[in-house]
Amino acid sequence: MLMDLLLRIALAGVLGGLIGLERQMRAKEAGLRTHILVGIGSAMFMIVSKYGFDDILNQTHIGLDPSRIAAQVVSGMGFLGAGTIIIQKQMVKGLTTAAGLWVTAAIGLVIGSGLYEIGIYGTVLALVVLEVFRRISHWLIGQHHTLIVQLKPKSVPSVLLALQKDRIRYGQISVVNRDKESGLCELTIEVTLARSVSGSNLYEHLLEVKGVESVEVH
């Protein structure tokens, strides 16, 4: 029994690490170590929830709900996931990583309960969604980038018009107040580039707009 429980903890850590490795390769907020710890911790919570009270359950006047600790893991992961979501310049980032941590916690709970096949299957599906679907999304829709443009305030409409002429889809837009010394403001735009459009071409095109001082493509 002990070896089986130790195997569950180790396997939950390994499966969580696979998801964390993919996130770390993408330079995301929560990487390999974070996902391993979430997997191990969730498995241990489930083991405690299922087997940690056997010594007192034999007493007739005590009744416990074995799902209560596991349920708290689900709600507790909300706080950890919220820590990976960044709101920067009115842009929201980190939602996929937060969802990955949530799935990793679920995998840890499943493995901790002894459902090995379900845990492995869930890990494979999560990796397929994170990697394969990402490539499919880039192929069908395009790749998402963040543009940071230093420019004169009056040039903001010109930049947006240049994007429209190039048929580049853009989403959230943020403009930081003008710097008093340089007279420039910072424009941040979320754009989606089709396969036919390269970041270098977009960079050169935006620099040609009057009033634009610098462009960064992330």
Domain extent, residue 43, equals 2-140
Number of H helices, E strands in the chain: 9, 6
pLDDT attached to residue 31: 81
* Same domain as 65, residue 15: yes
Shared domain check, 155 and 74: no
Task: Report d(CA 44, CA 65) in Å as an integer.
Answer: 17
Q: Which of 140, 173, 198 is the last residue of a domain?
A: 140
Q: How far apart are CA 89 and CA 63, in angstroms?
A: 51
Of 140, 156, 185, the domain-final residue: 140
What is the pLDDT tens value at each position of the chain, 218 positions in all?
A: 789 999 999 999 999 999 988 888 776 767 888 899 999 999 999 988 888 776 666 666 666 676 777 788 878 887 777 777 765 555 566 778 888 888 999 999 999 989 999 999 999 999 998 888 877 776 776 777 788 898 888 888 898 888 888 888 787 788 887 777 778 888 888 887 776 666 677 788 888 888 888 888 87
Same-domain status, 84 and 95: yes
What's the DSSP call for residue 140?
H
Does one domain contain both 11 and 43?
yes
Number of separate domains in the chain: 2
pLDDT of residue 75: 80
Q: How is residue 170 written in tokens?
A: 């853009």
22 in the same domain as 58: yes
Nearest C-alpha neighbor of 101 from the set 44, 33, 5, 26: 33
**Residues 79, 124: one domain?**
yes
Kindly state whether residues 66 and 81 are assigned to the same domain. Answer: yes
Rounded Cα–Cα distance for residues 25 and 35 (Å):
13
Angle between helices 116-127 and 95-112 (to 10 degrees): 160
Which of 125, 140, 155 is the endpoint of a domain? 140
Long-range contacts of 158-163 (CB under 8 A, 24+ apart): 158/209, 158/210, 158/211, 159/187, 159/189, 159/206, 159/209, 159/212, 160/189, 162/205, 162/206, 162/209, 163/189, 163/191
| pLDDT the model gives residue 119 | 93
